[in-house]
Amino acid sequence: MRFLLRLRGALALFALCGAWVIASAWAGAAQAQTGFDRFGGDYFRFEVRNGDPNVCAARCERDARCRAWSFSYPRTAAGPATCWLKNQVPARVENKCCVSGVRGAGVIEPRQGPIEFSIDRLGGDYRYVDLPADGTDESCQAICKGEDRCRAWTFVRPGYISPAPRCYLKDRITRPRAKPCCISGVVK
């Protein structure tokens, strides 16, 4: 009996600790802003070889001086993917080149409508189109909508596969996979 009481107490303590950890993580999770930059306050800059903005957010978390950060995708604000750590929190400015956030903000891509940010749909490609330097995910989506065969599309930002942005058109809908290089969507 005494063992059962101790076990019940230990389980209750474990559940309470687990709930506290989840609540703390949820409360501290701020949202980074995709499509925004923050100018000024830079004290350190580095290249992000894998092109993932989460690397920038994590680096800011580990640096006591960091109050905010900005990440630029390859071939946008700088040549390679680049992270700027900031010792202040400058105002955000809309700019598709970048993702920015404040310390404590992980990268959470917008999930509005049929556009899938940071998602690649591997496979099902029947052709690709190299877009002009100013090509966007919207232009890729429009190309797909204009072809009867196209069921889904993936836009690859410039600098990940080629210097130019690239649009992959797909004749079947494949499983989405998280990748910072890409924006995808399903049209039919």
Whole-number pLDDT of residue 97: 86
Name, in order, each residue with C-beta under 8 angstroms of 45's C-beta and a sequence gap of 6 or more: 82, 83, 84, 85
Q: How far apart are CA 130 and CA 116, in angstroms?
A: 20
**Are 109 and 35 contacting, i.e. CB atoms less than 8 angstroms apart?**
no
Question: Predicted confidence band at 118 (pLDDT cuts at 50, 70, 90)?
Answer: confident
Reported CATH class of domain 30-106: alpha beta
Whole-number pLDDT of residue 33: 80
Q: Does domain 115-186 have CATH number 3.30.460.10?
A: no
Task: Specify the domain boundaries for CATH 3.50.4.10 within the chain.
Answer: 30-106, 115-186
pTM of the predicted structure, to 2 decimals: 0.66
Whether residue 110 is predicted with pLDDT greater than 80 in this model: the reply is no
- CA-nearest of 36, 42, 33, 47 to 79 is 47
Question: Predicted confidence band at 8 (pLDDT cuts at 50, 70, 90)?
Answer: low
The alpha carbon of residue 18 and the mean position of all alpha carbons in its chain are separated, in whole angstroms, by: 27
Range with lowest mean pLDDT among 7-11, 31-35, 114-118, 155-159 = 7-11
Query: Which has more pLDDT, 108 or 183?
Result: 183
Instruction: Name beta bridge partners: 86.
Output: 42, 68
Range with lowest mean pLDDT among 10-24, 68-82, 89-103, 120-134 = 10-24
Whole-number pLDDT of residue 162: 86
Query: 20-44 burial, b for 16+ CB within 10 Å, e for fewer?
Result: eeeeeeeeeeeebbbebbbeebbee
Q: How far apart are CA 152 and CA 114, in angstroms?
A: 11
Compute the mean pLDDT over every residue in the chain, rounded to the nearest whole number.
81
Q: Which two three-digit tokens encode residue 51?
A: 């092109």
